[in-house]
């Protein structure tokens, strides 16, 4: 097993000094669009993440961030009812928010195999850009941390 050598002059971060790592809560707008019960479950999960024990950085169940993936289907149109319901709840969660765009999956090859296909990669990037622009146009004031 390879191990990095720590020079004697280097400071070592003690466990008690380490920032809380926390967990992530992952939501899919596509799933919520397909199943009405998923949307309400997601709203409740986000609300619970803002309350104890999930908001206590000293707790192993601490939820540090929320990621919302698949904001649109392959045609690039946003899942508007889902986003309009989730974004206000996310905005009040106090968590770091990460937004996904779209995933054109569904082909016979795996995602990793598709990455090797140049035309698929270009189509995927173009779709992601279209969805990101549509999201920013529709929700220009929604504050989130990253794509």
What DSSP string runs through 9-31? TS----GGGSPP--EEEEEEHHH
Q: In the block, which residue shows the tokens 């993440």?
A: 49
Are 55 and 88 a contacting pair, CB within 8 Å?
no
The predicted structure's pLDDT at residue 1 = 34
The predicted structure's pLDDT at residue 20 = 54
Q: Which of 146, 61, 72 is nearest to 105 (CA)?
A: 72
Q: In the block, which residue shows the tokens 């090859």?
A: 109
> Bridge partners of 26?
67
Q: Which structure tokens are listed for 134? A: 């549509």
Q: Which phi-psi region, left, alpha or beta, contains residue 42 (left: φ > 0; alpha: ψ -120 to 50)?
A: alpha
The predicted structure's pLDDT at residue 15 = 46
Cα within 13 Å of Cα(20), Cβ side: 15
3-state secondary structure 49-70: HCCCCCCCCCCCCCEEEEEEEC
Are 101 and 132 a contacting pair, CB within 8 Å?
yes
pTM recorded for the entire structure: 0.77
> Bridge partners of 27?
68
Written as tens digits, the pLDDT of the chain (147 aa) is 333 333 444 444 444 554 557 899 999 999 999 998 999 999 999 999 999 998 998 888 899 999 999 999 989 999 999 999 999 999 999 999 999 988 776 667 787 888 888 988 898 899 999 999 999 999 999 999 988
Q: Which structure tokens are listed for 71? A: 């904001």
């Amino acid at each position: 097993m390879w191990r990095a050598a720590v020079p004697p002059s280097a400071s070592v971060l003690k466990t008690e000094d380490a920032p809380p790592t926390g967990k992530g809560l992952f939501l899919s707008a596509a799933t919520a669009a397909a199943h009405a019960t998923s949307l309400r479950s997601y709203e409740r999960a986000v609300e619970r993440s803002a309350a104890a024990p999930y908001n206590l950085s000293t707790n192993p169940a601490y939820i540090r961030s929320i990621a919302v993936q698949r904001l649109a289907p392959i045609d690039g149109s946003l899942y508007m009812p889902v986003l309009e319901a989730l974004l206000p709840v996310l905005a009040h969660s106090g968590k770091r928010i990460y937004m996904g765009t779209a995933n054109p999956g569904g082909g016979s090859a795996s995602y990793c195999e598709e990455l090797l296909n140049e035309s698929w990669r270009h189509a995927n990037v173009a779709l992601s850009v279209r969805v990101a622009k549509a999201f920013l146009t529709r929700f220009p004031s929604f504050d989130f941390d990253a794509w």
